[in-house]
Chain A
Amino acid sequence: MASTAGPENLDQIRAAAMLRISGQRVATPAVLGGCALATALTVALMSQDGPRRLAHAWLLNGWFTLSISLGALFFIGLQHLVRAGWSVTVRRVAEVLGASISNPLILMAPLALLLFFGYCGLFPWNDGELVASDRILQNKSTYLNAPFFAVRAVFYAGTWVFIARWYLKASCRQDQNGDTKTTTRLESRSAPILLLLGVTVTFAAFDWLMSLDPHWFSTIFGIYAFSGAMVAGLSVIAIIVAVMIRRRITEAINCEHLHDVVKLLYGMNCFWAYIAFSQYMLIWYANIPEETVWLKLRQEQGWDGMQTILAVGHFIVPFLVLMPRAAKRNTVVVIAMSMGLLAMHWVDLYWIIYPQFADSPAFGLIEVATGIGFVALFFMLAIKMLCSAPIIPIRDPRLTESVTHVVP
């Protein structure tokens, strides 16, 4: 049998999981992230058109880290909803990633605040003169205006933070009291929670990504954002699980769990490709100018190359590499492919956001520094929380099932 873990040594596993992971310095990522964001800010303010580029880089990296958390939240919700047993031991990782959502949200708040100062470098619909000369934008102005936008943003952020905190707190409380009713409650509330998550993520994607081009619209866009978030969230979970296995941090997390996480990641990545193809194909085929213009912009001036990169890197390569069973259980392959998928998710968002502002793909210090800043500050919070709680839900009633889980 692959795993030596069994119900006999469950107490050992619990004791080992209780040990706080020490030696992880939270200060390093915090300083690194702070410095990176400061550098980006400085560089942007010194160059012409820099602030506008920074706003887009900010949104890009903010949504990138946000989608990791959202993916993790969907993962937790789904696991509870279907009463999964196998995923109990990896759920803490997801809970922590979900709860780290507050950092990107706080960092993105200035983008919404800027709207009140009439900043329209990011969202053209905030430009009064443009709206006055554009009948379509006038009709949308009941929805696309600074106050309502901000109210919605606060609602989304509040909902997500509330859900994430609730999942983590309830689970940590169970670590202490071992109450099985907690599990029942988590499961029964996950259905409405997923509903709420689905609606908020859809409208957040409409607001923050789709309205960058306020004329353009696509009904599938919310699902597109959801599938991207699932890929990002599961990629990070897979990386952390693989690292834990390599470092032998706990017996409770082993290749069997990695295998199932990667299977889900594989499936969700195919789902992403399916949604991306559906959107592209329907717009391509009907060729209605008001929709096609969005794709046309992204097929010229070097953006077309990014499309090819996405098709190959986001779908074809992971699809072929992760197909064999052995690849899904190999930590090196999984880490490499998940890193690649995260990079591709970033490219995907870049391809959505940047053509609204840049004539051709631009990649420089501003993007790199903002990226490092957001990722460092995101993981700073995640590591801090992961170190201050048991790394698996030690009193979950289905822990035995998860520890002894074997992929048939």
Chain B
Amino acid sequence: MSTVAPPRPEAVPEIEPESNGLVASFNSVDTVLEAVRVLRSGGIERIDVHSPHPIHGLDDALGLKGSPLPWGAIAGAAIGLGSGIWMAWWMNAVDYPFIISGKPLFSIIPSLPIAFELAILFAAFAVFGGAIAFGGMPKLANQKFRIPSFARATDDRYVLAVDSRDKCFDLVGTRALLDEVGGEGVTDIPPVATSEKRIPRTVWMAAAVLCVLALVPAVLIAKARNSTSTKPRLSFVSDMDHQPKFKPQTTNSFFPDGRSMRPQVEGTVARDDLREDDQYYLGRNSGHGGLAANAAEKDSDGWVTAFPLTVDESLIRRGRERYQIFCATCHGQGGDGDGLVTLRALELEQGTWVKPTSLHAEPIRGQPVGRLFNSISNGVRKMPGYASQIPVRDRWGIVAYVRALQRTRAATSADVPSEILPNMRELN
């Protein structure tokens, strides 16, 4: 093999290149590697070898080094890991917190599987995308594909290509050199014809029209999302939206009166609806009927002053339990109006919050039990009525417990049973 340097072109005339370079076929790995070495020792740098499989030692021979792909993989993995953990935290612990089977809202343990999967997925995207992009793909048109013998570069031949832009390239000299190192079928890479260089106008026009049309659905969706409509929404899958049943407050042609809700049959009382005892059910004496709230302004207006049921320890205990469930959140465990909800609302400076009156305040202490019962049943000011949530007897229990609470504040040592008194300690 000759290692003589090719004749250097002294003065290349400024003409349109008639060739983009040269290709030559070789039929074994060794011969093509040898040819690369010869060409490179002759100063030719822009060499490429097209082979049907990777050739070991070729990277060294061509002087190719390093690769950005591992860094892409690491970056992809880091992004995947981070976004996986971020989603688990932000979506389940911040934006939409909900408790599932007693698990913490966020914990690193159950976040790892998804973070891991995303790390792998993003790293794989980075690697695949990097290999495609840095490999100059997709590039469907290639001048070398026009050379018939080039087709065997993906079959069983090793095709060496020299780029005409190389500073040492010389059509005649390089061709001779390629012949000399055993290249078969040395051929010019045809230059790109001027007529082929441009994409036709029609293609551009079609692409532009397509781009505009592609925007139409997006615009329609955006419009629909930002405007209101009186028409019922389209439902492709009815999905239990329309069920064959009658809903309250609707018309219905089945009954003569046209109502779907049926009135009570005359002369009947529904179960548990017979509430004859006003003292027990309303907390006021008979004769002061009507809505209790209307008559509430006058304390003396017929409120019951004595409990209309037997007060015993079990009732007070029940009342304490109900009080702690329903009342203490606002009124506080001691009835001072310092429940957790109140404290929180005051801390947040909620303008509309009204601090509940202390149950130990003089006006409240003076209220008859019937009035207290009425407040629980129908509410006072911001406080809603609890009639629908607390059964009547329990409401009386709460009243009894409130009375007991009030008594504790005004108690003296005389109220304490004598056998307990010695065990009590003076409080400052």
Contact = CB atoms under 8 A, between A and B. Distances in A.
A and B touch in the complex (CB under 8 A): yes
Interface string A114-153: 0000000000000000000000000000000000000000
B56 A285 contact: no
Contacts of A277: 112
A280 B56 contact: no
Nearest to B101: A287
B110 interface: yes
Nearest to B108: A311
B109 interface: yes
A23 interface: no
Q: Is the interface of A mostly helix, strand, loop or mixed?
A: helix
Contacts of A284: 109
Interface in B147-198: none
A120 B65 CA distance: 64
A280 B112 CA distance: 12
Contacts of A281: 109-110, 112
Contacts of B103: 285
Interface residues of B, number: 6
B110 A285 contact: yes
A408 interface: yes
Nearest to A286: B101
Interface in A287-311: 287
Interface residues of A, number: 7
Contacts of B112: 277, 281
Nearest to A287: B102
B109 A408 contact: no
A235 B112 CA distance: 27
Contacts of B110: 281, 285
A324 to B, nearest CB: 8
Contacts of A280: 109
B209 to A, nearest CB: 50
A298 to B, nearest CB: 15
A277 B56 CA distance: 40
A284 B56 CA distance: 49
Nearest to A285: B110
Nearest to B116: A277
Interface string B65-107: 0000000000000000000000000000000000000110000
Nearest to B102: A287
A287 B102 CA distance: 10
A277 B111 CA distance: 12
A36 B110 CA distance: 45
Interface in A360-408: 408
A277 B109 CA distance: 9
Interface string B379-404: 00000000000000000000000000
A307 to B, nearest CB: 12
A408 B242 CA distance: 67
Nearest to B56: A408
A104 B415 CA distance: 78
A188 B283 CA distance: 95
Contacts of A408: 56
A325 to B, nearest CB: 10
Contacts of B56: 408
A281 B103 CA distance: 13
Interface string B54-72: 0010000000000000000
Nearest to A324: B70
B372 to A, nearest CB: 46
A277 B113 CA distance: 10
B148 to A, nearest CB: 35
Contacts of B102: 287
A408 B102 CA distance: 51
A330 to B, nearest CB: 17
B81 to A, nearest CB: 12
Max chain A Cβ within 10 angstroms of own Cβ: one of B56, B109, B112 = B109
Interface in B116-133: none
Interface in A326-358: none
Contacts of B109: 280-281, 284-285
Nearest to A280: B109
A284 B107 CA distance: 11
A188 B158 CA distance: 43
Interface string B404-421: 000000000000000000
B76 to A, nearest CB: 15
A97 B341 CA distance: 69
A384 B398 CA distance: 87
Interface string B26-60: 00000000000000000000000000000010000
A5 to B, nearest CB: 19
A245 to B, nearest CB: 24
Nearest to B110: A285
Nearest to A408: B56
A77 B109 CA distance: 35
A223 B56 CA distance: 39
B92 to A, nearest CB: 15
B252 to A, nearest CB: 52
A244 B102 CA distance: 55
Interface string A269-280: 000000001001
B401 to A, nearest CB: 38
A274 to B, nearest CB: 10
A92 to B, nearest CB: 30
A120 B28 CA distance: 74
B60 to A, nearest CB: 11
A408 B55 CA distance: 12
A263 to B, nearest CB: 16
B123 to A, nearest CB: 13
A285 B111 CA distance: 12
Nearest to B107: A284
A408 B112 CA distance: 33
Interface in A183-224: none
A288 to B, nearest CB: 12
A62 to B, nearest CB: 32
A280 B109 CA distance: 9
11 contacts: A277-B112, A280-B109, A281-B109, A281-B110, A281-B112, A284-B109, A285-B103, A285-B109, A285-B110, A287-B102, A408-B56
Given A285-B103, A285-B110, A287-B102, 8 more contacts: A277-B112, A280-B109, A281-B109, A281-B110, A281-B112, A284-B109, A285-B109, A408-B56
Interface of B: 56, 102-103, 109-110, 112
Counting from the closest, the 8 A-B pairs by CB-CB distance are: A284-B109, A281-B109, A285-B110, A277-B112, A408-B56, A280-B109, A287-B102, A285-B109
